[in-house]
Amino acid sequence: MSDLLPATRQAVGAAVEVVADGVRYGILIARLAKAGLALRHMAALAKSTFEYVGDCAASVDQLAEMASGMDVDAGTVAEHHEAANIMRGALANATTMAQECEEMSSLFDEASAAHQADYGAVAEAFQNMPVEPANREFYANR
């Protein structure tokens, strides 16, 4: 009976290691997907927010032209046009950022797909082995 206790502990330890490997693989895939989704959301949010800024820039330019027609001093009109140009510059920067977020999102999706292609079958085969897995150190080189 005392001989069964160490063997049982070893078998349980091996089973825990197999589950841990599967969990790590699943967590990595989930985190890659989550990061890609978050970046896509951020890109969409930036686009919608800064479309509003583009509309504001056009409105400020219209106000500047209206002010010019009402004999408002040239300095005030110029300040309005400058404010509109600053808004358009922010819009350009935000658009670039949104595009980069979309690209990074695609890269996370590609990394997830590549990891699944490289290791998905291995992880599945490892979890479904008909025999007890070897000691964890045996798999350290994979």
Position 4 scores a pLDDT of: 45
Torsion on CA atoms 35, 37, 42, 48, rounded to nearest 10:
170
pLDDT beyond 80 at 63: yes
Q: Is the predicted pLDDT of residue 123 greater than 50, yes or no?
A: yes
Instruction: Find the domain containing 99 and state its range.
Output: 9-131
Domain membership of residue 80 (yes or no) is: yes
- Is 142 a residue whose pLDDT tops 60? no
Determine the pLDDT at residue 21.
55
Number of domains composing the chain: 1
Residue 3 lies in a domain: no
| pLDDT tens sequence across 68-116 | 999 899 999 999 999 999 999 988 888 888 888 888 888 888 888 888 8
Nearest to 88 by CA among 67, 57, 60: 57
The whole-number pLDDT of residue 58 equals 92
The answer to whether residue 2 sits within a structural domain is no
> Is position 136 within any domain?
no
